[in-house]
Every structure is written in structure tokens, then in C-alpha cells.
A and B are shown apart, each in its own frame.
Chain A
Amino acid sequence: MLDNSESYVTEDGRTIGGVVMEMKNITLRFGGVVAIKDISFDIREGEIRAIIGPNGAGKSSMLNVISGFYVPQEGEVLFHGKPRPQLRPYEVAQQGIARTFQNIALFEGMTVLDNVMTGRLNKMSSGLLAQAIWRGKAEKEEIENREKAEKIIDFLEIQHIRKTPVSRLPYGLKKRVELARALVSEPSILLLDEPMAGMNVEEKEDMSRFILDVNDEFGTTIALIEHDMGVVMDLSDRVVVMDYGKKIGDGTPSDIRNNQAVIDAYLGVAHD
């Protein structure tokens, strides 16, 4: 068992750092329905952490707790070892935790480039007046932000649609634009809510490659939710398994593969 601050090196030679975020006994209820029941797990720096589970297991709710969209009734979230006060979603984003959504939340009326640029909103600090006269700092900032945006657009191979309004794009590309928007804010933690939902095999492979590349190139910590067991096992360093709001497994992909509770949850148990 590793200490919270210890780091280790994976089989493929990446260094995984200490714990950056820790969920402690999180319980989330909607009225009488318990969506998350007393769950604890941590996310280490630089790792790809997956949360999996059958439909309705509470995976998305968990991600919404991390990103501040839901407020848990019990438990706390530790960020860099310190308890995080209850933050609003935009404040979480300002702390450097970016996310994507299961049902894609893009600005449909804007072009791809404009969408990606909104991801830089928090990095702009010049005031309205400075922007109005458009000199010095504001100008430099805009150029800098634009460069960052173009770099990410290049990285995710969506140059050819930079000026296309998002509403005209097919589903798979929209997902990629959403990833670009999250990525351009240079997040320390990236939360991906079913990044591969509804994709065909080819698109899934593309997306997996991008997730690995992002992790590799920028060292971004990634927490993702996914349905597809195969994809998750190939992609992630550690996996949390949820079922009916409870944690039933936590460990490396090979641990999870041999975990009886997980097998039962996915394949069903024989009732005698």
C-alpha cells in the first residue's frame, strides 16, 4: 500500500505522483434515493483513473460531485490534501478542474475555434477598459490565448473544422471539440464523462489514443467514466467500480478483472 505522498513508476515508464484529490465518505441523496453511498477513493497525480459500473451506478453523480455540480450531503473532498469548501461549478473550473459532459454541452451557435477559446476565459485577466482600447496587455493576452487554442486544435486534429459552427458537426467530432475546450484551460485534473459513449469502434480508438496522448504529453491527471470495460482496462492505471451507489472494487485493471463482486455486478449472480 502506497503512502499518499509517495510516487511510483508504471510498467510503461510513466511516473505517477502523490494523491491530488481524495473523496472521503461521500454520500449523495436525491430525496429518498441514495445515488452515492459512503464512497471513498483517491486520484493520483498524472494517472488515468477510471470510474466504471453498470447503468445507474452513480458514476456521473460522482463526477458531478467532483466538479461541483452536485453537493454531497455527507463526506468531503480533499484537494491537494486540504478539505475543499463547497464550491460552485465555475469556481471548481477556476481551480483548474476541467470537464466534459455525457450529453455534450458545447456552444452550438459558435464556431469550433470560438468554443475552444471560451476555455481560455479564466486565463484572461485584463479589464474591460484595457480590452476596449485593445493595447498592450489585452492584445498580448489575446494572441497568447489564440496560440494555445491553435495548439490544442492541432493536437486533437480538428484544424480542418476550426471555422465550422459546432451545430453542423457530427457527434464524434463534437466530443473531440468538447475535449479541446476542456484541455485548452490547461487543467490539472481533467474529468471526462463517458468520452466514448455512442461512438463506433474507429472513433473509440481515436478517442483512446487522444486520452493517452493528453496524459503523456501534458501530464494531465485524468478521471474518466466509461461503460466499455475493454477500453477502460486498456486505458487506465487504476479503476473504481461502482454498483447501486456503492463502491465494490478499487485497484489496477488486473485486480478488477479478478474481483468476484465486479464480475457479479457485470454478469449477474446466479440466485439459487
Chain B
Amino acid sequence: MLEQLYFAMEVFLNGLMAGVLYALVALGFVLIFKASGIFNYAQGVMALFSALTLVGIMDGQVPFSHIINATFGTDIHHFGWHVPALFAIFGTVIVMVLFAWIVQRYIFRHLVGQEPIILFMATIGLAYFLEGVGDLMWGSEIKKLDVGLPQGINDTIDQVTYEMFGYGFFIDNLDIVATVVAVLLVIGLVIFAQYSKEGRAMRAVADDHQAALSVGVSLNFIWIMVWSVAGFVALVAGIMWGTKSGVQFSLSLIALKALPVLMLGGFTSIPGAIVGGLIIGVGEKLFEFFMSSSALAGELFGFTISATENWFAYVLALIFLVFRPQGLFGEKIIERV
């Protein structure tokens, strides 16, 4: 029985780590939603696209090589160089800023003042477009991403816990890194929003467009900035997920896991995205552990079920919607009559 308890604790910790990764994706949603009221369906694809671009730059892949080869009858695929991870990340950031500019200039600038549902539809279009562009640019095969982050079991934790409990905890190094990065990212974002001039302008735009204009804030600039920051957050999420499970197109589906996270945490709260992510991560891991264990659920209910991770988050979000539709940290919806 003690063994089971340790195992549950290990599952709990792993759930926390997985939750951090969900939170990273959810964070990108919150940023854009807060500043411009756009629910950006493309956030997950942005994570995928940034990871693809990062791998592409690192491996010196020629973008659009398939089209180029098909058109000109050439056979080029690689530039033949390898770019160090840090420079490649820098290059990807530039690509994401460029992406932000294009999105703002050619899509959302023309949709200012439209209904939220129209903006949302535009982001769905953007998501599929970007997925297609990613495919054309870098190809659709699964790629390995290695920017030098440590991976595999953390031996120190394994040993220490073994000496303490007689049971070694399996914690992945990458998960620890992801947690540290997420914490730093959130601290950085909060400081940026609260104390910098640009952050102050961003909050002003989020609050009232007209008033922001009247104090000399360019809406266009702020929106490009917000999309750039969201792109950067997507890149961080892309690096973590890509390192964990390879850069593949199913990465964009992780974005869907961010939806229940947001329903729990509230669409407008940065801390909410983090807490929501952790709850979902821990909840689904513990639930899976409990329901699939013959010693627990089997004893209790007489049956076990597995693969609950696929639906647990959504059911939890549904329950939340019934009792607290604004989420844990969201702004309360009060309608004056």
C-alpha cells in the first residue's frame, strides 16, 4: 500500500510537470485574448510552426525546397551547414516577429471593430493556412529537435528519494527544465506588463482603444508587439513539446488541450493559465493512475478503464463551465440591466 502511495506521489509530480507544458500553450492564448479580445485558435499551430522553423534553421534546411525542386528540376534540400541552437532560436524569433507583423498588417488591421466570432473565424483560417505553409516550407516528416536541453531520468532525485522512501521517483530532466523556463517566462511577462512603458501601453489598449489612441498609443504597434510576444511564447512551448515528443504535426492538437486549461483558469488571467494547466496536468495523470489500477479502481468499482487522459480534461472543463463559467481567475461576468 505504501508502494502505491509513493507511486501516486510520483504520478502527481509528473502531472505537475505535464501541466506546465499545457500552461505554456495556454499562456499564448491569454496574452492575445487580453490585449485584443481575439481568441487565437492558431496558437497551437504557431507553436508547431516555430518548432519547425527552429529545426529547419538548425539543420540548414532549404525552405520551400519541394516547390523549388519541382519547379526548377533541381535537387537541393540542405544548405549544408548547422546553426548553433542559440542563433537558430534568435533567427526563429525574428521569423515569429515577421509573422506577427504580417498577421496584423494583412488580417487583423482590416477586421478592427468586428464581432469576436469573425475574429475567431479568421484565426481558424490562419491556423490552417499556417499549417499548410509549415508543411510547404519545411516538409511534413517528424523531426527530432535537440537544442541541448537535458533529457532522461534525473538521477539525483531518483537516488535521494530512493534513500528516503526506498522508492526512486522517476522525474524527467526536461520536465524540470520546462518548469524553470515557464516560471521565468511568467515572471518576465508580469514584470513586462506591469512595469515597462510598452507593457503599460499594452494594458491601456486592452482596456480602451479610444482612450489609448488619445494618449498617443499606436494600436497597430501594440498589436504587433502582442502577437510577437505570443509568437515567442509559442516558440518556448514548441521547443519543450518538440524536444519531448519530436516536431510533428500532431503538435498543433496540443492547442486543444489548452482549451480546458483556459476554461479552468479563465481566459484573461496569466496566473489562471498556470494554475489551470497544473490542475489539468495533475488531474488527468492521477485520474488515469487511479482508474487503470486494479488495486484501486478494480477493488472499488470492480472494473478498470484506461486512456482516460484523452477525455478527462474536457469533462473537467465541462463541469467547471456549469459551476464557474468565468474560470478560477477570470473576470466575473456581470451584466447590468
Residues of A within 8 A of B (CB): 67, 69, 88-91, 93-94, 98-101, 105-110, 114, 117-119, 121-122, 124, 126, 128, 131-132, 134, 181-182, 185
Contact = CB atoms under 8 A, between A and B. Distances in A.
Given A106-B211, A118-B204, A131 B195 contact: yes
Contacts of A122: 215-216
Interface string B185-206: 0000001000111101101101
Nearest to A127: B197
A118 B28 CA distance: 25
Contact of A118 (B198, B215, B219): B215
Q: Across chains A and B, which 4 residue pairs bring their CB atoms closest together, nearest first?
A: A93-B216, A105-B211, A107-B207, A89-B213
B266 to A, nearest CB: 14
Given A93-B215, A118-B204, A122-B216, A105 B197 contact: no
A141 B85 CA distance: 37
Contacts of A134: 195
B217 interface: yes
Interface string B211-254: 11111111100000000000000000000000000000000000
B211 A101 contact: yes
A121 B216 contact: yes
17 contacts: A69-B213, A88-B218, A89-B214, A90-B212, A90-B213, A90-B219, A91-B216, A101-B211, A106-B208, A107-B211, A108-B207, A114-B200, A118-B212, A126-B197, A128-B197, A131-B196, A132-B196
Contact of A101 (B204, B214, B219): B214
Q: Is the interface of B mostly helix, strand, loop or mixed?
A: helix
B208 A108 contact: yes
Nearest to A134: B195
A185 B211 CA distance: 14
A117 B196 CA distance: 12
Contacts of A88: 213, 218
Contacts of B203: 107, 109-110
A109 B206 CA distance: 10
Interface of B: 191, 195-198, 200-201, 203-204, 206-208, 210-219
A88 B217 CA distance: 10
B208 A121 contact: no
A91 B208 CA distance: 17
A143 to B, nearest CB: 13
Nearest to B191: A132
Most buried by B among A67, A105, A128: A105
Contacts of A93: 213-216
A185 B216 contact: yes
A115 B204 CA distance: 8
A131 B197 contact: yes
Given A105-B208, A110-B203, A131-B197, 19 more contacts: A88-B218, A90-B218, A90-B219, A91-B218, A93-B215, A93-B216, A100-B214, A101-B210, A105-B214, A107-B203, A107-B207, A109-B203, A109-B207, A118-B201, A118-B215, A119-B215, A121-B217, A124-B197, A132-B196
A91 B220 CA distance: 12
A72 B310 CA distance: 57
Nearest to A101: B210
Contact of A94 (B207, B208, B216): B216
A93 B197 CA distance: 16
B214 A121 contact: no
Contacts of A101: 210-211, 214
A92 B214 CA distance: 8
Nearest to A131: B196
Contacts of B196: 128, 131-132
Nearest to B207: A107
Contacts of A91: 216, 218
Contacts of B217: 90, 118, 121
B214 A182 contact: yes
B277 to A, nearest CB: 24
Contacts of B204: 107, 110, 118, 121
A90 B216 contact: yes
Given A107-B203, A121-B204, A99 B214 contact: yes
Nearest to A166: B207
A154 B16 CA distance: 49
Given A88-B218, A93-B213, A181-B215, A121 B201 contact: yes
A122 B216 CA distance: 6
Given A93-B216, A118-B215, A121-B200, A105 B210 contact: yes
A128 B229 CA distance: 13
Most buried by B among A99, A118, A119, A121: A118
Contacts of B219: 90
